[in-house]
């Protein structure tokens, strides 16, 4: 089961902070998962339109070509700025 967390503005736009789902058939990496989620339409398309979207897999920063097995925790968030 994938545990997917959404942070900051993404959480607000999607109106959810997390979800769990089995690894969809044909999805092998983070980019494929984003495509799957965005295909839900509506607000979910924001995942593909978000500029500089960041991802962590099992609490480590990851690239979108990071392979998925189906038992990971993923976190999606916009870039963090400080001041």
**How much is the pTM?**
0.91
Domain count across the chain? 1
39-61 b/e (C-beta count within 10 Å ≥ 16 → b): eeeeeeeebeebeebbbbbeeee
Assign residue 37 the CATH number of its domain. 3.10.20.30
Structural domain harbouring 13: 2-77
Residue 49 within any structural domain of the chain = yes
Residue 42 lies in a domain: yes
Q: Which two tokens stand for residue 62?
A: 């990851």
Tens place of pLDDT per residue across the chain (83 aa):
999 999 998 999 999 999 999 999 999 999 999 999 999 999 999 888 888 899 999 999 999 999 999 999 999 998 765 55
- Look at residue 83 in the predicted model and tell me its pLDDT: 54
Interatomic CA distance for residues 70 and 53, integer angstroms: 21
pLDDT of residue 81: 56
On whether residue 82 sits in a domain, the answer given is no
Q: Is residue 44 part of a domain?
A: yes
Residue 83 lies in a domain: no
């Amino acid at each position: 089961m994938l545990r997917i967390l959404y942070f900051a503005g993404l959480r607000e736009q999607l109106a959810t902070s997390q979800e769990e789902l089995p690894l969809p058939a044909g999805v092998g990496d983070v980019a494929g998962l984003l495509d799957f989620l965005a295909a839900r339409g509506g607000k979910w398309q924001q995942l593909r339109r978000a500029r500089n979207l960041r991802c962590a897999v099992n609490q480590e920063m990851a690239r979108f070509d990071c392979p998925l097995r189906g038992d990971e925790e993923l976190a999606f968030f916009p870039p963090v700025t400080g001041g």
